[in-house]
Structure formats: structure tokens, C-alpha cells
């Protein structure tokens, strides 16, 4: 079965980043492939801790952002939406400059839950962080009752 129920453009995904955490951190989607979604985030004043290293929380924000987006895009039922249940991350290497890249791939796509593997690497393709994100599939009206219909595919 195809992961994505329709073809999405990077332009329509990135349009949703303005005015929220993704935009503030400089996160942008750069690839949507047959089985993965990839985003990148700059390592700069917005994403480092006071000692100049990539902040672990910024890595987790990237992981949850790309994983949550991928989970939502994989839904086939427009009456449902996705919400994060749990995320865990292991920080493996420090980064001080450039970009980090988060690649989300599904481990489990169930009727009521999804589990996503997110691997974050640096500009030299060295593994920086690994994360696992658990998503709940819930009725959309309970989470976004008044949200404008600006999501991809609507």
C-alpha cells in the first residue's frame, strides 16, 4: 500500500510553517519520498543552547514536527487527525553549525495509533539524534473544531 494517499508538494507543506513553531525555528520540508518525509533545521541562534551546541529540545522539536506532519499526511480518513502521545530521543552527537536533517519513516500505521522512527543527521550525514514518536489517531472535530481548512488536500 502506498504511504501517502495523494501527492503533496513541498510548497504546500512549507506554506503551513509560517507563524508557528516550525517557522520560528526555521524548519522546512525538503523531500517527500515513497516511504519518508524529510525536513531540515538550521543550527543557529534559534536552535542552540547558551554554549553554542544544538539544543536537545530543538532536535526533539524537529523530530516531532516531521513525524507529526508525516503521520497526518498518511491519513486516508479526512474525519480523523493526529496528535502526539509520546516522544523519546537519544542525542548522539553535538552540532554547532550548518543544518540538521530529520527523516521520518513509519514503524507502525494502525487504525488508532502510529509509531514513527525519526533519524536526525548533520551536513556530513553523521547521526545526531534518533527519536521514536507515538501518534494517536482521533476524531478531527475533538481536536480542531474551528480550525480553518488549510491542510494539504482540503
Q: What is the pLDDT of residue 93?
A: 97
Is 2 part of any domain? no
Q: Is 64 among the catalytic positions?
A: yes
Based on the structure, what is the number of domains in the chain? 1
Contact 12, 35 (CB under 8 A): no
User: What are the pLDDT digits (tens) for 107-141?
Assistant: 999 999 999 999 999 999 999 999 999 999 999 87
Q: Are strands 99-109 and 127-139 parallel, antiparallel or unpaired?
A: unpaired
Q: What is the pLDDT of residue 88?
A: 98
Q: Domain of 83: which CATH number?
A: 3.10.129.10
Whole-prediction pTM: 0.92
Is 5 part of any domain? no
Rounded to an integer, the average pLDDT of 43-48 is 98
Is 46 part of any domain? yes
Is 149 part of any domain? no
Tell me the residue range of the domain where 25 lies: 10-143
Is 16 part of any domain? yes
How far, in Å, are 22, 54, 55, 74 from residue 49 at the CA level? 18, 6, 5, 33
Is 80 part of any domain? yes
User: What are the pLDDT digits (tens) for 7-16?
Assistant: 999 999 999 9
Is 154 part of any domain? no
Q: What is the pLDDT of residue 152?
A: 61
Of 11, 12, 64, 86, which one is the catalytic site residue? 64
d(Cα 89, Cα 81) in Å, to the nearest integer?
A: 24
User: What are the pLDDT digits (tens) for 48-74?
Assistant: 999 999 999 999 999 999 999 999 999
Is 151 part of any domain? no
Amino acid at each position: 500500500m502506498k504511504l501517502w494517499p495523494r501527492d503533496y508538494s513541498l510548497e504546500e507543506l512549507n506554506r503551513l510553517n509560517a507563524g508557528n513553531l516550525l517557522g520560528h525555528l526555521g524548519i522546512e520540508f525538503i523531500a517527500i519520498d515513497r516511504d519518508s518525509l524529510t525536513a531540515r533545521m538550521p543550527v543557529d541562534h534559534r536552535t542552540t543552547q547558551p554554549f553554542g551546541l544544538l539544543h536537545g529540545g530543538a532536535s526533539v522539536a524537529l523530530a516531532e514536527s516531521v513525524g507529526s506532519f508525516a503521520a497526518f499526511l498518511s491519513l486516508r480518513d479526512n474525519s480523523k487527525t493526529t496528535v502526539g502521545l509520546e516522544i523519546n530521543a537519544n542525542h548522539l552527537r553535538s552540532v554547532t553549525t550548518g543544518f540538521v536533517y530529520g527523516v521520518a519513516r513509519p514503524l507502525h500505521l494502525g487504525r488508532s495509533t502510529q509509531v514513527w522512527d525519526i533519524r536526525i543527521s548533520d551536513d556530513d550525514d553523521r547521526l545526531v539524534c534518533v527519536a521514536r514518536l507515538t501518534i494517536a489517531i482521533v476524531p478531527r472535530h475533538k481536536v480542531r473544531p474551528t480550525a480553518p481548512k488549510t491542510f494539504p488536500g482540503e
